[in-house]
Amino acid sequence: MSLSTLKKRKVDSENRQFNNEWTEKYAFIAVDANPVCLICNECLAVSKEYNLRRHFNTTHAKFNTTFPPGSAARKQKISGLTLCYEQRRRILFRACTDQERATAASLRVAWILGKKKKPFTDSETVKECMLASIEEVVTDEKTRKSVIDSIRQIPISDTSNIRRVESLASDVFETLMDKLRKAEVMSLAVDESTDNSDVAQLCLYVRFYDGACFHEDLLGLIPLEGQTTGEILFAKISAFFEENNLDLARINMLVTDGAPSMVGRDQGLAARMAAVAPQMRSLHCLIHQSLLCAKLSGELKETMDSVMAIINFIRCTSSLQHRLFRKLLADMSAEYKDLLIHNDIRWLSKGNALKRFCELKEEILVFLQSSKLKKAGKFLSLMGNNEFNATVCFLSDVFYHLNQLNMELQGRDKTVFELVEKLRAFQRKLSLFSADLCPEKMLHFPTLRKSGLQITEVMSGFIDSLKNNFATRFDDFSISNFALKGKELVPSLDESFLQLELIDIQSSDDLQQSLQQAGYEKFWTHVVSQEKFPHSRGLALFLLTMFGSTYTCESSFSHMNAIKTHNRISLTDQNLQHCLRIALSTYTPDFTALAKCLIQFQYRQIRKIK
């Protein structure tokens, strides 16, 4: 047999153990299964007598002469060296423990500041506040000095805070990746927006089931340079998935805001992703669709534009005019201090602006009468028109109900089931509103009823238009019939067994009661048995993984702009993503374990330099 075919010996498999006789013989002790020289503190890799003897004879040859083997002096010297080593080790361990605690404390401070979206520089302010509080609260001088010294050891400067945020965000991201790689399917919410420094940011949010519960987490915030076409968006997402070892084919739902670059039939993001993920379905955000149903036109749009023109005249003509109006509100003891400006980007602003306008109508009239500007006279005559006032009151009532729907659709961890239920309920309410819009009732139009003004055909027509728009967009969106949709969504599903399981579930009073009490998620994850109902449970988990809206992305953009506004230092794209990941994370790291890892990494880096 040639030497090249001989297997190398593996030291770990030889189970070499330290012999206690070697301590007196070669001045070595065992530390964590490795022999350490008591004279020079060098650590050897293998507990082998030949290695210890060679080190002793070549490095400490004079030791035998000074302290002969078997002599009392040698035993006393070895005992002293051992005691000295143990003392140094305890001191070092105590120092490491103190450093770990200080690092863990700095990680906690960075985490809290990140959660609150506070700037990096606030960490030093936090330290000053802690020191000032201890000086006032702790009366015992010895204890106060000990606590203050410990706090001063905490590294929480702005630069340290940046590094801590990076470590925390990396830990959160790695934890998310570990769970996501094990998930069978995932849903993706994608939206693109421009931050307050005109950088286009692509936000990716993911929803998945990890075997115990559902998670919604920020997957990534990807900066975009130049154009934001469907091709570019797809390339960015594909590169992100490939870089993090994620499978695009596991995506079962893609939810977007309905922009052409997202939903284009041939070149859009949804079409490109469907080519690599055959089981994937795409959905236009249900919240966006509900807003499109209430789009104004004709006379109603003119009325809305006129209301916004009056508000802008009062608030935006000059700072002096705005101050005078607010002073008038204070003098008249008005309920509110100012009017609200409408912004199309903000979902609730139209309804809130109309409501505030109606509630401050008398004050607005007084202000317009006192104004000497020409526009004030024009707006004053407009507000004296009964038809205009009736339409404004009607719009205020209608958009109040639409805002209530919008609030019910918003929020994290809202399943697509819940969103569809809310939309179906609102469709039924629209039928009620239509019947209620008559002079004898108007129970659901309190502002219009209080004004005593007449109902117009435009108002009835708008309610009918809302009913038709909601029916067109949402009547075909049905997920309640599992038997019909199951095979289409999950081709591998056995439809015959699914139908039988659904009958058993629908016939069980206990399960029906549990569904009402627990809700969709807990019912299918904790109540329904996997062994008894594998097909229906599997399909339900598949559907519950799906996003119903891009609310999480929209919310992320608000957090993103807040972070960029609060941080006075310049943030890189990576810093921004780290801060946003911490602010939105549903997972809390183990600060103590992370502190130990950071210190061990620092020690390794120091050894490399040496």
Per-residue pLDDT tens over the stretch 389-407: 999 999 999 999 999 999 9
Give the C-alpha separation, 43 to 32, whole Å: 11
Distances in Å between the Cα of 17 and the Cα atoms of 433, 500, 534 are: 85, 63, 52
pLDDT at 568: 59
Q: 205: helix, coil or strand? A: strand
Q: 190: helix, coil or strand? A: strand
Per-residue pLDDT tens over the stretch 564-604: 877 755 678 888 889 999 999 988 898 888 888 887 766 55
What are the DSSP calls for 513-571, one per residue?
Answer: HHHHHHHHHHIIIIIS-TTT-HHHHHHHHHHHTS---SHHHHHHHHHHHHHHHH--SPP
Q: 43: helix, coil or strand? A: strand
pLDDT at 602: 64
Distances in Å between the Cα of 569 and the Cα atoms of 72, 95, 177, 565, 575 are: 67, 33, 30, 10, 11
Return the residue matching tokens 């991201």.
173
Residue 93: is it exposed, middle or buried by C-beta count within 10 angstroms (0-12/13-18/19+)? exposed
Per-residue pLDDT tens over the stretch 167-192: 999 999 999 999 999 999 999 999 99
What kind and span of H or E run contains 192? strand 186-194
Distances in Å between the Cα of 524 and the Cα atoms of 403, 529, 535 are: 31, 8, 12
Give the C-alpha separation, 178 to 166, whole Å: 18
Give the C-alpha separation, 202 to 227, whole Å: 12
Per-residue pLDDT tens over the stretch 500-552: 888 888 898 888 888 888 888 888 888 888 889 888 888 888 889 999 899 99
Give the C-alpha separation, 309 to 287, whole Å: 27
Give the C-alpha separation, 67 to 61, whole Å: 11
What kind and span of H or E run contains 187? strand 186-194
pLDDT at 610: 42
What are the DSSP calls for 70-90, one per residue?
Answer: T-HHHHHHHHHHHHHHHHHHH
Give the C-alpha separation, 538 to 502, whole Å: 12
Question: CA angle, corner 605, sides to 604 and 606, nearest 5?
Answer: 90
Alpha helices by DSSP H, listed for 286-345, are 286-293, 298-316, 319-331
Eight-class DSSP state of 479: -
What are the residue ranges in the chain where pLDDT is below 70? 1-15, 90-96, 477-487, 568-570, 601-610
pLDDT at 603: 58
The one-letter amino acid code at 395 reads: L
Nearest to 218 by CA among 545, 582, 588, 558: 582
pLDDT at 102: 85
CB of 548 closer than 8 Å to CB of 255: yes
Distances in Å between the Cα of 24 and the Cα atoms of 16, 114, 192, 252 are: 19, 56, 71, 68
Tell me whether strands 186-194 and 200-209 are parallel, antiparallel or unpaired. Answer: antiparallel
Phi, psi values for residue 423, rounded to 5°: -65, -40
Q: Which tokens is 234 given?
A: 């797809």
Per-residue pLDDT tens over the stretch 109-120: 999 999 998 888
Tell me whether strands 28-31 and 200-209 are parallel, antiparallel or unpaired. Answer: unpaired
491 Cβ contact partners less than 8 Å away, ≥ 6 residues apart = 279
